[in-house]
């Protein structure tokens, strides 16, 4: 079970309805997250494994496990690229 850690020293976050906003304090940049990205972010923040996050989405949405894993991995890749994860 792969787990990631949010870089809480660099990233501040705030909910915005079903979405979220991240603020990178080092680069003075904001990132607006859609509902899906925000749910992935919250799962990672709660120290859930990728499989646990996948299960969370599979319980809520009518989506195949393969597509779900792929989309969650894309979100994680974006978070890594922006150095939101450590």
Reported as a single tens digit per residue, the pLDDT across 54-80 is 999 999 999 999 999 999 999 999 999
Residue 38 lies in a domain: yes
* Sign of the CA dihedral with 46 first, then 75, 49, and 67 last: positive
Structural contact between residues 69 and 52, judged by C-beta atoms closer than 8 angstroms: no
Residue 50 lies in a domain: yes
Residue 86 lies in a domain: no
What residue numbers bound the domain in which 64 lies? 11-81
Reported as a single tens digit per residue, the pLDDT across 1-25 is 688 999 999 999 999 988 999 999 9
Residue 64 lies in a domain: yes
Q: How many domains does the chain have?
A: 1
Residue 2 lies in a domain: no
Which pLDDT belongs to residue 3? 87
Residue 70 lies in a domain: yes
- HEC assignment per residue over 31-80: EEECHHHHHHHHHHHCCCCHHHHHHHHHHHCCCCHHHHHHHHHHHHHHHH
């Amino acid at each position: 079970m792969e787990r990631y850690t949010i870089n809480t020293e660099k990233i501040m976050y705030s909910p915005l309805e079903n979405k979220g906003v991240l603020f990178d304090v080092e680069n003075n940049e904001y990132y607006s997250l859609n509902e899906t990205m925000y749910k992935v972010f919250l799962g990672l923040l709660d120290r859930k494994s990728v499989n646990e996050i996948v299960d969370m989405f599979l319980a809520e949405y009518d989506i195949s496990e393969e597509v779900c894993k792929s989309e969650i991995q894309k979100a994680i890749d974006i978070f890594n690229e922006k150095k939101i994860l450590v």
